[in-house]
Amino acid sequence: MSHDAAPNTPARRAPTDLHPVPARVREGSASSIQTLDDWRRVWMAAKTDPDAFWLRETQARLRWRTTPTQGLHGSFHDIADSQVAWFADGTLNITESCLDQHLETRGDKVAILWEGDEPGQTRTFTYRELHAEVCRAASALRALGVQKGERVIVYMGMVPEAAVAMLACARIGAVHSVVFGGFSAEALRDRVRDCGAEVVITQDEGLRGGRSIPLKATCDAALEGEHGVRHVLVYRRTGGAVAWQHTRDVWWHDALAGASADLPAVETAAEDPLFVLYTSGSTGRPKGLVHTCAGYLTWASYTHEVVFDLREDDVYACMADVGWITGHSYIVYGPLANGATSLMFESTPLYPDAGRYWDTVARHGVTIFYTAPTAIRALAAQGDHHVTRYDLSSLRVLGTVGEPINPEAWQWYYDVVGQGRCNIVDTWWQTETGGICITPIAPATPTKGGSATLPNPAIVPVLLDDDAHEIVGPGEGRLCLAQPWPGMARTVWGDHERYVSTYFSTFPGTYFTGDGCRRDSDGYHWITGRVDDVINVAGHRMGTAEFEAVLVSVDAIAEAGVVGFPHPIKGQGVYAYVVLQPGQQPDDEALLTLANATCRAQIGAHARIDLLQLVPGLPKTRSGKVMRRILRKVAEGEPDKLGDVSTLADPSVVAAIVAGAKV
């Protein structure tokens, strides 16, 4: 035995060991789930009688016009013929749940607390003010002729008016589709067309990290020749110069001036669409997932309250962008349905320095803080002093979302940010699921770094092997969800068949998530990442097929195969294998620059290829199918684990691929 080791020192706890819930997280909780026993009981109740469980929850949470008597309708077995529905005989307007129902009890409570790009630049909207502003914006939309059921695109940065725009659509029963402000003109145009929007809401410029983003100009480029769009409503954020089409463009402040601040809400059916949100899949173009009014809001409200153990005086901060589902469910809809104070953040974690998040937490007394693993890794790499110089004693619950968090980053978050006093909720979910599915529950669940732990009530995860056999007990397989839950997306906009084939055909009768998952002997779930051709770069979900389509649109490129590879900060990076057209001779660096300019134009600045390798051919089977497994293994730096390559049409390309590998 070494003399250095003190004989009775307990072994240091590894990040993946069980971490009990810190006392401070449990103290003062009034949640329905405060212990693992509570969780077992509630989860079982939701499983055995979902109708009773969710009818009770929805009535307690939402303000209904016609109270529903029906719970779940439909099942995964007949999903090709009929959509799943929840609370189908009820009617409501979800803004009455998010705004009107709080006016008496919380009218002067801050609903949205906005932290602008410059530190300390803030704006607040109380529930009363937000209600009035949403009514004004809804009146303005109505004056522009927007009808119930019509789609409105929201292409904005992180300003409170983005939330106002979403809620204003909902107030008049219109369907919003928020397009992340980083998307290019082409991507925006595709979405405008796909959902048939006639009105777009944007702003002059966005502001992030001291740089302006030309949102209106990009919108103008997207709409060139698109005669279907009648109006563009423009919020003035920076005052930067913009081009103006007088018959089409309308300033937000002009349209809202004098508009009614008390507009009665339009009654909608529970299952009417609330929004369409586009997301990437394994194949083809991004699809517009449709979320409906009541089931979605019930789920967002329930999960937001229970997972984070929301309390009346919490200051809750989710650092996501409203352009993604996390921003929809956990900046806007869940928190507002729950009457919370929701912080909206316009800037970046690194502006003006790596202390920005913690400066924001300290100044506003944030109690619940929710961000992505990629931000945690980037900040951990900058050193602890950016964190420790701020007073973070207000924090109680920390959350992560968007990708697997590696145990080391988790431990840093736990020790340095949470100072061992906070519980971390590692929340697994998807655009399709509408809200959090597998997660610790803050006061109840002991955590293990890197594990999303246990399913929320209504979520019945099953792990299936390649032959669709269920893995019982510990093991690893494809993650499927066996029963419908209120917040699930009901369909793909305009293409129910695609919805059915994407999610319900791999393992008929269950929803296939596209993720792999391991379950340990405590029943804890460890998401291992996508098992399909989706890559997750810094929490941005992209399809390899989308990159490939961009690459082959470059003149010099004949064929392309794109895969993800492990990246220390971004989680995954993008690796492109490219076959040139005959007679072309650019070097790979020049081609990478060109390819990235094309990705930026066709998708957006967040779509960047990290590594590009020129190859003589792609590894294909004799029937012409690209064997992506080989491309993946090489990109992962494991060329010795290629497996059987004997079925390839031309095995010699493999040697060339391995020899020229960039990792």
Shortest gap between Cβ of 162 and ligand WTA (angstroms)?
Answer: 18
Query: DSSP per residue over 384-400, as a string?
Result: THHHHTS--TT--EEEE
Q: Quick check: 330 and 302 in contact, CB under 8 A?
A: no
Q: Which is nearer to ligand WTA, 527 or 557 (CB)?
A: 527
Q: Which is nearer to ligand WTA, 324 or 577 (CB)?
A: 324
Per the structure block, which two tokens stand in for 6? 């003190």
The residue type of 316 is Y
Shortest gap between Cβ of 540 and ligand WTA (angstroms)?
Answer: 7
Shortest gap between Cβ of 437 and ligand WTA (angstroms)?
Answer: 9
Nearest CA-CA partner of 487 in 302, 295, 303: 295
- Applying CB under 6 A, among 114, 429, 504, 511 the residue interacting with ligand WTA is 429
| Contact region with ligand WTA (CB under 6 A), list: 73-81, 143-151, 323-331, 349-357 | 323-331
| Contact region with ligand WTA (CB under 6 A), list: 46-54, 247-255, 424-432, 593-601 | 424-432
Helix or strand or coil: residue 172?
Answer: coil
Shortest gap between Cβ of 488 and ligand WTA (angstroms)?
Answer: 13
| Contact region with ligand WTA (CB under 6 A), list: 194-202, 417-425, 511-519, 577-585 | 511-519
Query: DSSP per residue over 640-656, as a string?
Result: GG----TTBS-THHHHH
565 in contact with ligand WTA (CB under 6 A): no
User: How far is C-alpha 635 from the geometric centre of its chain's CA atoms?
Assistant: 26
367 in contact with ligand WTA (CB under 6 A): no
Q: Which is nearer to ligand WTA, 515 or 533 (CB)?
A: 515
Shortest gap between Cβ of 309 and ligand WTA (angstroms)?
Answer: 18
Which residues neighbour 465 within 8 Å (Cβ) at sequence distance 6 or greater?
A: 471, 477, 478
Q: Where are the beta strands (DSSP E) in 147-248?
A: 151-155, 175-178, 199-203, 206-208, 211-213, 231-235
By CB under 6 A, how many residues form the interface with ligand WTA?
22
Write out the binding residues for ligand WTA, residues 145-204 only, by CB under 6 A.
none
- Applying CB under 6 A, among 515, 532, 533, 546 the residue interacting with ligand WTA is 515
Q: Which is nearer to ligand WTA, 477 or 514 (CB)?
A: 514
Helix or strand or coil: residue 420?
Answer: coil
| Contact region with ligand WTA (CB under 6 A), list: 170-178, 357-365, 508-516, 560-568 | 508-516
Q: Which helix (H) or strand (E) holds 502?
A: helix 496-503
541 in contact with ligand WTA (CB under 6 A): yes
Would you state the torsion angle of the CA atoms of residues 622, 285, 570, 558, taken in this order, to the nearest 10 degrees? 40
| Contact region with ligand WTA (CB under 6 A), list: 82-90, 298-306, 421-429, 637-645 | 421-429
Q: Which is nearer to ligand WTA, 357 or 370 (CB)?
A: 370
430 in contact with ligand WTA (CB under 6 A): yes
Which residues neighbour 420 within 8 Å (Cβ) at sequence distance 6 or greater?
A: 22, 414
| Contact region with ligand WTA (CB under 6 A), list: 396-404, 459-467, 502-510, 641-649 | 396-404
- Classify strands 287-292 and 273-279 as parallel, antiparallel or unpaired: antiparallel
- Classify strands 368-371 and 315-318 as parallel, antiparallel or unpaired: parallel
Shortest gap between Cβ of 426 and ligand WTA (angstroms)?
Answer: 5
377 in contact with ligand WTA (CB under 6 A): no
| Contact region with ligand WTA (CB under 6 A), list: 118-126, 146-154, 238-246, 428-436 | 428-436
452 in contact with ligand WTA (CB under 6 A): yes
Q: Quick check: 33 and 41 in contact, CB under 8 A?
A: no
326 in contact with ligand WTA (CB under 6 A): yes
Q: In whole angstroms, how far apart are CA 127 and each of 100, 150, 297, 457?
A: 8, 26, 18, 29
Shortest gap between Cβ of 154 and ligand WTA (angstroms)?
Answer: 17
Shortest gap between Cβ of 448 and ligand WTA (angstroms)?
Answer: 13
The residue type of 115 is E
Write out the binding residues for ligand WTA, residues 274-313 only, by CB under 6 A.
279
- Applying CB under 6 A, among 525, 530, 608, 632 the residue interacting with ligand WTA is 530
Q: Angle at the Cα of 346 (from 341 to 347), degrees rounded to 5?
A: 125
134 in contact with ligand WTA (CB under 6 A): no
The residue type of 518 is R
Q: Quick check: 213 and 600 in contact, CB under 8 A?
A: no
Would you state the torsion angle of the CA atoms of residues 56, 60, 61, 63, taken in this order, to the nearest 10 degrees? 110
Q: In whole angstroms, how far apart are CA 30 and each of 26, 58, 306?
A: 9, 19, 10
487 in contact with ligand WTA (CB under 6 A): no
Shortest gap between Cβ of 209 and ligand WTA (angstroms)?
Answer: 22
Shortest gap between Cβ of 236 and ligand WTA (angstroms)?
Answer: 30
- Applying CB under 6 A, among 182, 514, 543, 561 the residue interacting with ligand WTA is 514
- Applying CB under 6 A, among 427, 445, 447, 453 the residue interacting with ligand WTA is 427
Query: DSSP per residue over 305-365, as a string?
Result: HHHHT--TT-EEEE-S-TTSHHHIIIIIIHHHHTT-EEEEE-S-TTSSSTTHHHHHHHHHT
Q: Which is nearer to ligand WTA, 556 or 569 (CB)?
A: 569
- Applying CB under 6 A, among 175, 527, 563, 579 the residue interacting with ligand WTA is 527
Shortest gap between Cβ of 530 and ligand WTA (angstroms)?
Answer: 5
3-state secondary structure 427-480: EECCHHHCCCCECCCCCCCCECCCCCECECCCCCEEEECCCCCEECCCEEEEEE
- Applying CB under 6 A, among 83, 268, 292, 431 the residue interacting with ligand WTA is 431
401 in contact with ligand WTA (CB under 6 A): yes
Q: Which is nearer to ligand WTA, 290 or 580 (CB)?
A: 290
Which residues neighbour 655 within 8 Å (Cβ) at sequence distance 6 or greater?
A: none
| Contact region with ligand WTA (CB under 6 A), list: 75-83, 157-165, 509-517, 558-566 | 509-517
371 in contact with ligand WTA (CB under 6 A): no
Shortest gap between Cβ of 515 and ligand WTA (angstroms)?
Answer: 5
402 in contact with ligand WTA (CB under 6 A): yes
Where do contacts with ligand WTA occur on this chain (CB under 6 A)? Answer: 279, 324-326, 401-404, 426-431, 452, 513-515, 527, 530, 536, 541
